[in-house]
């Protein structure tokens, strides 16, 4: 068992019984299992499951397209690891404490817990609708989470990282954060024309606030954070934001207010030993990533911590890349292996806003375009460095260009009634020889040995760098080249015995391998495509995503008339 620095055994002993009782009543935590990595053709070393997280989402407002985008990215990353034969875990959920939740519940005229129950169910429904393979949907109102938060607070307090003092500063209710003077600017409030003060980082309104509360000694953590950043040059992606983060920390950090007077904020976890204060929502919320792992009672040999990948929006870098690692360093826990910060979605190059009427309802989008079409579009057009610009016309155009006319059409062409996929596979398996003209041989060799060779490695390299759009485009390029191959060879016109089957084989392989590699992005559609191609369920893994790895497919594939990507309008999936 890992004991955080400064943690006394008595803390664990006293809280152990209550922890177990709470745990028994809450969502069951997954048991971490050890596994063999099969990301290559030979088994790798024993290592823990690959652990991925999304931020937990505030329930004070309905989900938007950004929530869907973040969660889809995390799900694709998890499914990619599983495709490679690695065991993976994904945690997502909802953030349910804090002042803006309390205010939203009051405005709605309901109890905060009832308000949160409704909001959490909506976010959970979105995850299920988007076919997200999460292992736990965590809520910060879960009993086991509260127990972990209280434990972390005690460890921080006993390690002398927490002090009680008066604090004054500019506070944003929307961001649940204090900002220094340097992070504030004046602007004009459009609806009223009045001059207001906002956060430079988020644009949210701030107000001056003075109160006594507990502080985390963040000012002492700067050197340790900078040392960690230097040792881990790819910890935060993309690199542009990492440079900005380092520059900010280098200027020096102020101590962080980590509680609020309970008379002002009642909806939250009380500070252990001081019922007059409520724990700051961001300290509470970030700890959810540990709660999922069974911290602090799960032995390190069985834990999924540290997280391998935490995916966040660019607006919460401060919380995840300064506060979060500082908290972890203070309790003696390992830091996440990597954090991916993505950009936002705009519409017509404008920030999405309810007042402008350009907010995208993710439920409506999935119903209109289909879940796999939306997953494909978000991963292809979503921005990591720069904002993605959401467009219904772009979704339709990319559906027609890539899904209908490329992937779907290739299935129809390969599975034509004019030739047999299964015979093409047998032709390769049996090593049949045919005489080819020089032109035909050149076309065959290009597709087989230049285009298909190394596709899996090329896509994997892009995924390792978290470059989701480029990974998809690598596959789409192969599909495009295969169409050119079929057109150039004109298989439907060649009557020479054995030539059709011989020449069809690399085209069938291109479709099969592409379908396997696209499974994390479009799991439902690729399951159907591989089924129509006759690929057995047990033959759709990493080891089979290379040329010549499967000689069992093709039965019943020829002559199929089903369209995996039908013409518009798309029927609801």
Within 232-322, residue ranges assigned H as helices are 239-250, 281-286, 288-291, 317-318
* Cα atoms in the 13 Å half-sphere on the side-chain side of 160: 1
Q: How confident is the model at residue 2 (pLDDT cuts 50, 70, 90)?
A: very low
Mean pLDDT, residues 243-271 taken together: 95
Four-residue CA torsion sign, 92, 94, 97, 99: positive
Strands 50-58 and 236-237: unpaired
Quick one: pLDDT at residue 532? 96
Residue 483 belongs to a domain:
yes
Nearest one of 44, 68, 12 to 345, comparing CA atoms: 68
Nearest one of 154, 153, 119 to 139, comparing CA atoms: 119
Tally of domains within the chain: 1
Euclidean distance between CA atoms 490 and 481, whole angstroms: 14
Buried b (16+ CB within 10 A) or exposed e, 278-304: bbbbbbbbbbbbbbbbbbbbbeeeebb
Quick one: pLDDT at residue 570? 57
Range of the domain at 520: 410-544
Kindly report the average pLDDT of the chain as a whole number.
88
Residue 449 belongs to a domain:
yes
Q: How confident is the model at residue 102 (pLDDT cuts 50, 70, 90)?
A: very high
pLDDT tens profile 476-501 = 999 999 999 999 998 777 566 678 89
pLDDT tens profile 104-115 = 999 999 999 999
Residue 199 belongs to a domain:
no
Quick one: pLDDT at residue 38? 35
Residue 168 belongs to a domain:
no
Euclidean distance between CA atoms 413 and 29, whole angstroms: 47
CA angle at 473 for the pair 456 and 466, rounded to the nearest 5°: 70
Residue 424 belongs to a domain:
yes
CA 525 to the chain's CA centroid: 20
Q: What is the CATH number of the domain that holds 422?
A: 1.10.730.10
Please determine, for residue 209, whether its predicted confidence score (pLDDT) is greater than 80.
no
pTM value is 0.86
Residue 218 belongs to a domain:
no
**Are 187 and 176 spatial neighbours (Cβ–Cβ below 8 Å)?**
no
Euclidean distance between CA atoms 235 and 222, whole angstroms: 16
Please count the other Cβ atoms lying within 10 Å of the Cβ belonging to residue 94.
Answer: 25
Q: How confident is the model at residue 355 (pLDDT cuts 50, 70, 90)?
A: low
Residue 471 belongs to a domain:
yes
Residue 63 belongs to a domain:
no
């Amino acid at each position: 068992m890992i004991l955080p620095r400064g943690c006394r055994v008595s803390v664990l002993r006293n809280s152990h019984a209550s922890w177990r009782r709470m745990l028994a009543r809450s969502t069951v935590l997954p048991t971490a299992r050890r596994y063999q990595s099969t990301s290559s053709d030979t088994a790798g070393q024993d290592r823990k499951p690959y652990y991925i997280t999304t931020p937990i989402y505030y329930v004070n407002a309905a989900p938007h397209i950004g929530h869907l985008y973040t969660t889809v990215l995390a799900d694709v990353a998890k499914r990619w690891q599983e495709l490679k034969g690695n065991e993976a875990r994904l945690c997502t959920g909802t953030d349910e404490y804090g002042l803006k939740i309390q205010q939203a519940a009051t405005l709605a005229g309901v109890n905060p817990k009832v308000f949160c129950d409704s909001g959490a169910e909506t976010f959970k429904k979105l995850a299920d609708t988007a076919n997200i393979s999460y292992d736990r949907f965590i809520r910060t109102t879960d009993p086991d989470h509260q127990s972990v938060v209280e434990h972390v607070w005690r460890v921080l307090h006993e390690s002398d990282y927490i002090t009680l003092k008066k604090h004054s500063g500019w506070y944003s209710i929307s961001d649940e954060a204090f900002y220094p003077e340097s992070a504030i600017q004046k602007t004009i409030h459009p609806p009223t024309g009045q001059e207001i003060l906002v956060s430079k980082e988020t644009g949210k309104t701030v107000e001056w606030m003075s109160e006594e509360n507990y502080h985390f000694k963040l000012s002492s953590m700067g050197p340790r954070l900078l040392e960690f950043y230097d040792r881990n040059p790819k910890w935060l992606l993309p690199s542009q934001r990492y440079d900005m983060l380092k520059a900010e920390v280098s200027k020096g950090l102020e101590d962080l207010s980590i509680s609020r007077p309970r008379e002002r904020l009642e909806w939250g976890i009380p500070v252990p030993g001081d019922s007059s204060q409520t724990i700051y929502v961001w300290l509470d919320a970030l700890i959810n990533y540990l709660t999922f792992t069974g911290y602090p009672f799960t032995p390190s040999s069985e834990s999924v911590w540290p997280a391998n990948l935490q995916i966040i929006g660019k607006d919460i870098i401060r919380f995840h890349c300064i506060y979060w690692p500082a908290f972890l360093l203070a309790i003696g826990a390992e830091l996440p292996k990597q954090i991916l910060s993505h950009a936002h979605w705009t519409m017509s190059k404008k920030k999405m806003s309810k007042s402008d009427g350009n907010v995208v309802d993710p439920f409506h989008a999935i119903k209109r375009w289909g879940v796999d079409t939306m997953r494909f579009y978000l991963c292809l057009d979503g921005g990591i460095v720069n904002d993605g610009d959401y467009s219904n016309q772009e979704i339709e155009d990319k559906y027609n260009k890539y899904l209908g006319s490329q992937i779907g059409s290739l299935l129809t062409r390969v599975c034509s009634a004019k030739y047999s996929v299964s015979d093409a596979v047998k032709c390769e398996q049996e090593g049949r020889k045919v005489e080819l003209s020089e032109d035909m041989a050149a076309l065959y060799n290009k597709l087989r040995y230049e285009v298909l060779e190394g596709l899996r490695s090329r896509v994997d390299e892009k995924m390792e760098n978290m470059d989701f759009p480029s990974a998809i485009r690598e596959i789409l390029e192969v599909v495009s080249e295969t169409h050119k191959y079929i057109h150039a060879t004109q298989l439907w016109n060649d009557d020479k015995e054995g030539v059709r089957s011989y020449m069809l084989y690399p085209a069938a392989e291109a479709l099969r391998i592409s379908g396997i590699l696209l499974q994390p992005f479009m799991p439902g559609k690729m399951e159907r495509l591989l089924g129509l191609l006759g690929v057995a369920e047990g033959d759709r893994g990493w080891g089979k995503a290379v040329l010549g790895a499967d000689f069992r497919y093709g039965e019943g594939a020829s002559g199929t008339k089903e369209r995996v990507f039908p013409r518009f309008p798309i029927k609801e999936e």
